[in-house]
Amino acid sequence: MRIVIAEDSAVIRAGLTEVLVDQGHEVAAAVANGEDLLEAVREHRPDVCVVDVRMPPSYTDEGIRAAIAIRRDFNETGVLVFSQYIETRYAADLLGAASGHGAAGVGYLLKDRVGDVGEFVDALGRVAAGGTALDPEVVTQLLRVSRRTDGLGELTPREREVLSLMAEGRSNGAIADSLFISERAVEKYVANIFSKLGLAPSDADHRRVLAVLRYLDS
């Protein structure tokens, strides 16, 4: 993968570059703020960028704004937002913006997840390929928020669990493995989720994303 990194902490920027290069990927540029990120994306057209949320000059949500701009202007580039904290609002902004422009190719992970190099690189690969990768923490927080609304009220706890794993960007096989059930059972849950959320059986992958977004929007 061709990757651009935007991260203002030099020590994390160096660490991340080391991990990605070590895993055989190309880090086209590693920058420290949102403006340089947009420029680097324009220049290198990477498959995916890893973007920190808090960057100069205001140290608030530069990363989120840059990520939304990238999803709007560079359809082929996925964005993995990479943060020390999970802010539900940022996740909602990011996914809301993404849903209007291809509805995919976004991720939101806690920085600690790089500790599991394999899983981190997998998540990055999913986002590069137009999928989603949400931190379990994001999912937990969004689930907490969504409990208050009625849209997902009909889902059983198991279906909710499957949906939250879908939100993390897992495939049916991966969901089956993590819940210790068969892939066929997962398919059944997924079909139930689609029908309860009123998603017509058209493009299966797209429906997955829509279900996740419905889930996150609620």
Partner 1 sequence: MVMSGGRDRPQSKGETGPIDPQGDLGLRSADQAPPLIRHLSSDFGLRHTKGVAITRWLVMSLLVILGSVFCALGYWWGAWLYIGAAANGLLAYLMPHWKTALEAESRQRVHELERSRAHVVDDAAARLRRIEQNLHDGAQAQMVAVVMKLGLAKEHLEGADAMNRNANLIRVAELVDAAHRGAQDAISDLRNLAHGIHPPVLDEGLGAALSALAARCDIPVELMVDLSERPSPAIETIAYFCAAELLTNVVKHSAARRVVVEARCGPSLVRVRICDDGVGGASIGGGGGLAGLAERIATVDGKLEVESPPGGPTEVAFELPLHA
* 180 CB-contact burial (10 Å; exposed 0-12 / middle 13-18 / buried 19+): exposed
Side-chain-side CA neighbours of residue 153 (13 Å):
4
- Rule CB under 8 A: choose which of 74, 90, 108, 120 binds partner 1: 120
Which is nearer to partner 1, 30 or 166 (by Cβ)? 30
The window from 92-100, 112-120, 178-186, 191-199 that contacts partner 1 (CB under 8 A) reads: 112-120
- Rule CB under 8 A: choose which of 51, 109, 114, 166 binds partner 1: 114
Residues contacting residue 216 through CB under 8 Å, at least 6 positions apart: 91, 92, 95, 142, 146, 167
Which is nearer to partner 1, 4 or 213 (by Cβ)? 4
Q: Which long-range contacts (CB under 8 A, 24 or more apart) does 214-217 make?
A: 214/151, 214/152, 215/142, 215/146, 215/152, 215/163, 215/164, 215/167, 216/91, 216/92, 216/95, 216/142, 216/146, 216/167, 217/92, 217/95, 217/96, 217/99
Binders of partner 1 among residues 123 to 162 (CB under 8 A) are: none
- Tell me if 33 contacts partner 1 by CB under 8 A: no
- Rule CB under 8 A: choose which of 25, 65, 71, 111 binds partner 1: 111
Which is nearer to partner 1, 60 or 156 (by Cβ)? 60
- Rule CB under 8 A: choose which of 73, 117, 205, 206 binds partner 1: 117
- Tell me if 58 contacts partner 1 by CB under 8 A: no
The span from the CA of 16 to the CA of 20, in Å, is 6
- Rule CB under 8 A: choose which of 116, 154, 203, 205 binds partner 1: 116
Which residues contact partner 1 (rule: CB under 8 A)? 9, 11-12, 14-16, 18-19, 22-23, 54, 59, 84, 111-112, 114-118, 120
